[in-house]
């Protein structure tokens, strides 16, 4: 006998120009459960969350909260109705103290003025309840993202303890931080809070969630108990077909490959930048995929940025095709055939206000110079070719990039660089925050590009992925490249992890 | 508290400390260098001569803390002096009616600019630039000449000296200090004030946390408009005239004072006390140069310019370190 759902959504519909993001979706959330919202990128997860939190008004359907129909007109109304959200990017004010971030907008007052001591005391109590070790009067930006996220949860639960939505909360957390987050989630669930959890990590979903709702292409695929739906089945529901070659997602099977020989395209010799990365050596040959593994903040991105001229090295030398070269700017690097897909696709890569077509031709146009504009026909041809090659959805070259899902945005970014036909492609977390289907496609694409002779530097937090693709794996730890391991078939994720942990050849 | 948190917290105070040290050292150097410099009255004169700037800078601090900017303040000050002089001198309205009216006008103008900025999502720079031209232009529809004020209540305000022992201050200086105190209470002890900081920290977050972003933004520009109008009223007490060319470039002095006072132009960090120190620094530069006697007053500008550079670089270093 289950009780009544605390939140029920019936037949919700949402359209963006050129895209139907949600098409008659139903969804139920019960008190005291952790519920996963699953689906590929573009399936409508983010849109559903934004409708529930009042960021986007819905175009049809109804939201029933604790038995009553509600209209959610904005974030404030959502909070007042009892729905709080913690997003992937921590949406708090880094300049304010922890206590203020928990209480802003609802500060305790005496005689009309803010009662600071009471606020700090109550914030400290809330933080202690969830067994966090946080000084509430310190500014928020003195803590790690993980702690900031927990503070956001403290705030969300204290604002309204009925429904808590966690949108990709774990994507920038390390293992211990995830464990801490899950402990907090379990404690809240036992208190009767309904938690909606969105994550791309299937293991995490199976570890913490009781039930799940699967969306596909903006439609409801089904609602399942976690215990009754296996991982492979779940993936096939998300993708919508018994995907041929699903095994290649499983991590077991690897591509047969031989490491290319011959002169290196790029050679880094004791290349370094103070405070970012210690001196490291690295050779990359045409047709070779080099993986960079290491924990978040271990210096993977920093090492790669030196190879793209995004930061200046202050030690060592860089040879490109045998010639000593100083890359003063990304422009230099691009001119020498190096492309860099940054991990921050929103802030450092794509222009959301431009269309898919415009984003795709951007780098090529820049390389040609503004005096030689690409004709519209050529632009359309390029855009269509890459939309088809990478299966970018929706397949409309004139759709605005900001209306695309994360995985499809990533593909647009890839297309932009591939169109310039680079000799070395640096991919920084190309699969982060995107779904498993798109992940597999991007991996396949990387492997194919390497086979055609492109050198690839592949940075990822997921070891299985790194091992599946790379000929060699550079391991970073504390801003130092501690080892380069040949991926000759005997290399296991465990051995890479041991190397990361011990800081030496294991 | 861990050491890192302490460090982060202190870092926010660095610009304020630098300004305080600068103020004290400038005053010490002046005292050693020039006879009669080391006196309480020199300090009080800083307040008396810069009361209107201080009031305007308080309003500017609110705006800059949200990450915005208000270029209209100088022109609104001029318009306020003009309307005051016009109504009092040429229409014979009583000052007790004219002053509230002028304050209301400034507040409404600021509110309107804030509303436009938020609703149409236009850069504050451009909206307040338009406001600046509008207010400055309106001055000349009243008169292209300076209108001098002979009203006894105004002259009384201009001449009254409130004794403090052997020293004295003007009513305007006291009003300015009251405005600073009121601004401090609003910024630190009301929800409006904290929302101002939140907005400057991250507007997106403020919105998602359910804070009244629109109301806060319009209120901040309304406060700046009110402070400009009040600054205009204080300037009429000081100059005893209304003129379209009063307070030319005052918006830049106000911004300079706010920045030198340690408020980040990107918003979210800064103190009203810093703005007070910033105004005093600007005043002290002028005092030093007038004591020196041979330098042209344009040297004030040069020194302010150099200081601004230093402080902006300092801000940059602090925010860069924070990432």
Q: Does A117 touch chain B (CB under 8 A)?
A: no
Residue that has been written with the tokens 């808590």 in this structure: A164
Domain-by-domain residue ranges, chain A?
7-250, 259-337+423-506, 350-421
Task: Give chain B's mean pLDDT.
Answer: 90
Domain A7-250 falls under CATH 1.10.12.10: no
Mutate to test the interface with A, among B5, B7, B10, B206 (most CBs of A within 10 A): B5
Terminal alpha carbon distance of chain A: 53
Out of A130-139, A295-304, B95-104, B211-220, least confident range:
A295-304
Look at residue B21 and give its three-state secondary structure.
helix
What's chain A's Rg over C-alpha atoms? Answer: 24
| Maximum pairwise Cα distance, chain A | 78
> How many C-beta atoms surround the C-beta of residue A304 within 10 A?
23
pLDDT at B196: 96
Alpha carbon separation from B242 to A6, B14, B158 (Å, rounded): 65, 40, 14
* A138 with B211: Cβ contact below 8 A: no
Model confidence, pTM: 0.71
In this complex, the residue of B190, B195, B206 whose CB is nearest that of residue A113 is: B190
H/E stretch holding A497 reads helix A493-502
Q: Does A428 touch chain B (CB under 8 A)?
A: no
Q: Kindly report the three-state secondary structure assignment for every residue of B133-170.
A: HHHHHHHHHHCCCCEECCCHHHHHHHHCCEEECCEEEC
pLDDT digits (tens, 9 = 90+) for A198-237: 887 777 888 899 999 998 888 898 899 988 888 777 877 7
* B16-20: Cβ within 8 A, 24+ apart: B16/B261, B16/B262, B16/B271, B16/B273, B16/B274, B16/B277, B18/B262, B18/B311, B18/B314, B19/B260, B19/B261, B19/B262, B19/B274, B19/B277, B19/B278, B19/B281, B19/B311, B20/B277
Q: Does A166 touch chain B (CB under 8 A)?
A: no
Q: Does B266 touch chain A (CB under 8 A)?
A: no
Alpha carbon separation from B64 to A99, B58, B311 (Å, rounded): 24, 10, 15
CATH number of A259-337+423-506: 3.40.50.300
- Segment B129-134 shows an average pLDDT of 96
The tokens for A40 are 């590929």
Q: Judge if ipTM > 0.90.
A: no
Say whether A259-337+423-506 and A7-250 share the same fold.
Answer: yes
* A93 with B198: Cβ contact below 8 A: yes
The count of C-alpha atoms lying within 13 angstroms of the C-alpha of A320, restricted to the half-sphere facing its C-beta, is: 17
CB B147 within 8 A of CB B241: yes
d(CA B255, CA B263): 10
Buried b (16+ CB within 10 A) or exposed e, B124-160: beebbbebbeebbebbeebeeeebebebeebeebbee
CB B84 within 8 A of CB B102: yes
Q: How many angstroms separate the CA of residue B8 from the nearest CA in chain A?
A: 6
Domain-by-domain residue ranges, chain B?
11-322
Question: Which residues in chain B touch residue A95, judged by CB atoms under 8 angstroms apart?
Answer: 12, 197, 200-201, 268-269
Q: Does B202 touch chain A (CB under 8 A)?
A: yes
pLDDT at B229: 97
In this complex, the residue of A95, A142, A159 whose CB is nearest that of residue B5 is: A142
CB B291 within 8 A of CB B86: no
pLDDT at A506: 41
d(CA A501, CA B33): 64
* A95 with B9: Cβ contact below 8 A: no
d(CA A72, CA A29): 17
| CB < 8 Å from B in window 226-245 of A | none
pLDDT at A245: 44
H/E stretch holding B44 reads helix B40-49
CATH fold, domain B11-322, is ABC transporter involved in vitamin B12 uptake, BtuC (1.10.3470)
Q: How many angstroms separate the CA of residue B57 from the nearest CA in chain A?
A: 22
Dihedral of alpha carbons A441, A442, A444, A445, sign: positive
> How many C-beta atoms surround the C-beta of residue A242 within 10 A?
9
Sheet holding A194-198, edge to edge: A83-86, A163-167, A194-198, A34-38, A211-216, A219-225
* B2 with A114: Cβ contact below 8 A: no
* B5 with A107: Cβ contact below 8 A: no
Residue-level pLDDT, tens digit, chain A, 506 residues: 457 889 999 999 988 877 788 888 999 999 999 999 988 767 888 889 988 888 888 888 888 988 888 888 888 788 888 888 888 777 889 889 999 999 998 889 988 899 999 999 999 999 888 878 889 998 898 888 888 888 988 998 888 778 999 988 887 777 788 888 898 899 889 988 999 998 877 778 888 999 999 988 888 988 999 888 887 778 777 766 544 444 444 444 445 556 777 888 999 999 998 878 889 999 999 999 999 987 766 788 889 999 998 888 888 899 999 889 888 888 888 888 898 888 776 666 788 788 889 888 887 887 777 788 888 888 888 888 888 888 888 888 888 888 887 778 888 888 888 888 899 999 988 887 777 777 888 888 888 888 888 999 999 877 888 888 899 999 888 788 988 988 877 788 778 877 877 765 44
d(CA A283, CA A311): 19
Q: Does B207 touch chain A (CB under 8 A)?
A: yes
- Find the closest chain A residue to B7 by CA distance: A142
């Amino acid at each position: 006998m289950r009780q009544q759902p605390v939140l029920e959504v019936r037949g919700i519909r949402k359209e963006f120009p050129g895209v139907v993001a949600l098409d008659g979706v139903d969804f139920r959330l019960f008190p005291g459960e952790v519920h996963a919202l699953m689906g590929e990128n573009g399936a409508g997860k983010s849109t559903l969350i934004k409708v529930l939190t009042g960021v986007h008004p819905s175009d049809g359907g109804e939201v029933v909260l604790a038995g009553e129909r509600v209209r959610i007109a904005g974030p404030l109304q959502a909070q007042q109705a009892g729905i709080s959200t913690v997003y992937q990017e921590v949406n708090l004010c880094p300049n304010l103290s922890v206590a203020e971030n928990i209480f802003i907008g609802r500060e305790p007052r005496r005689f009309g003025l803010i009662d600071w001591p009471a606020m700090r005391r109550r914030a400290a109590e809330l933080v202690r309840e969830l067994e966090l070790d946080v000084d509430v009067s310190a500014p928020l930006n003195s803590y790690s993202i993980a702690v900031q996220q927990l503070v956001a949860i403290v705030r969300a639960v204290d604002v309204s303890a009925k429904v808590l939505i966690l949108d990709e909360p774990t994507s920038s957390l390390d293992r211990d931080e995830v464990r801490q987050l899950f402990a907090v989630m379990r404690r809240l669930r036992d208190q009767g809070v309904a938690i909606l959890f969105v994550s791309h990590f299937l293991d995490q979903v199976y570890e913490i969630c009781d039930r799940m709702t699967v969306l596909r292409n903006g439609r409801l695929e089904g609602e399942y108990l976690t215990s009754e739906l296996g991982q492979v089945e779940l993936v096939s529901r998300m993708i919508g077909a018994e995907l041929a070659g699903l095994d290649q997602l499983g991590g077991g099977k690897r591509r047969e490959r031989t490491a290319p020989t011959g002169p290196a395209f790029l050679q880094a010799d004791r290349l370094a930048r103070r405070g970012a990365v210690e001196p490291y050596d690295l050779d990359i040959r045409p047709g070779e995929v080099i993986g960079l593994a290491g924990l978040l903040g271990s210096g993977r991105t920093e090492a790669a940025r030196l190879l793209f001229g995004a930061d200046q090295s202050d030690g060592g030398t860089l040879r490109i095709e045998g010639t000593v070269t100083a890359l003063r700017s990304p422009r230099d690097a691009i001119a020498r055939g190096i492309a860099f897909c940054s991990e921050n696709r929103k802030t450092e890569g794509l222009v959301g206000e431009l269309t898919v077509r415009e984003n795709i031709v951007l780098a090529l146009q820049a390389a040609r110079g503004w005096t030689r504009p690409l004709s519209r026909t050529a632009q359309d041809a390029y855009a269509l070719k890459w939309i088809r090659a990478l299966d970018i959805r929706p397949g409309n070259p004139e759709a605005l990039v900001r209306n695309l899902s994360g995985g499809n945005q990533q593909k647009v970014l890839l297309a932009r660089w591939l169109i310039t036909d680079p000799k070395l492609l640096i991919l920084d977390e190309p699969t982060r925050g995107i779904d498993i289907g798109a992940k597999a496609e991007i991996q396949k694409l990387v492997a194919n590009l390497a086979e055609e002779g492109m050198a690839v530097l592949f940075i990822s937090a997921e070891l299985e992925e790194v091992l599946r693709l790379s000929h060699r794996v550079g391991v970073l730890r504390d801003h130092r490249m501690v080892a380069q391991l040949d991926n000759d078939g005997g290399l296991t994720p465990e051995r890479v992890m041991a190397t990361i942990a011990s800081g030496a050849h294991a | 508290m861990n050491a890192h948190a302490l460090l982060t917290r202190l870092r926010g105070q660095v610009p304020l400390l630098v300004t305080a040290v600068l103020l004290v050292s400038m005053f010490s150097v002046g005292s050693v260098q020039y006879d009669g410099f080391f006196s309480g009255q020199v300090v009080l004169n800083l307040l008396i001569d810069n009361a209107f700037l201080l009031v305007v800078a308080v309003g500017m601090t609110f705006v800059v803390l949200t990450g915005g900017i208000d270029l209209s303040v100088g022109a609104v000050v001029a318009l306020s002096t003009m309307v005051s002089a016009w109504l009092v001198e040429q229409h014979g309205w009583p000052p007790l009616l004219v002053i509230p009216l002028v304050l209301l006008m400034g507040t409404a103008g600021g509110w309107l600019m804030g509303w436009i900025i938020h609703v149409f999502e236009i850069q504050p720079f451009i909206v307040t630039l338009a406001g600046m031209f509008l207010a400055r232009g309106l001055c000349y529809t009243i008169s292209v000449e300076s209108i001098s004020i002979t009203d006894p209540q105004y002259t009384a305000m201009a001449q009254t000296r409130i004794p403090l022992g052997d020293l004295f201050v003007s009513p305007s200086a006291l009003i300015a200090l009251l405005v600073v105190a009121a601004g401090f209470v609003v910024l630190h002890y009301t929800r409006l004030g904290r929302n101002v900081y939140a907005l400057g920290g991250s507007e997106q977050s403020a919105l998602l946390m359910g804070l009244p972003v629109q109301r806060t933004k319009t209120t901040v520009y309304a406060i700046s408009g009110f402070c400009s109008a009040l600054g205009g009223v204080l300037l009429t007490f000081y100059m005893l005239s209304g003129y379209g060319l009063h307070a030319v470039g005052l918006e830049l002095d106000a911004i300079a004072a706010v920045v030198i006072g340690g408020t980040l132009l990107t918003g979210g960090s800064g103190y009203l006390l810093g703005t007070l120190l910033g105004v005093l620094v600007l005043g002290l530069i002028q005092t030093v140069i007038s004591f020196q006697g041979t330098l042209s007053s344009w040297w004030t500008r040069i020194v302010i310019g150099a200081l601004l550079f230093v402080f902006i670089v300092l801000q940059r270093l602090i925010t860069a370190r924070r990432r």
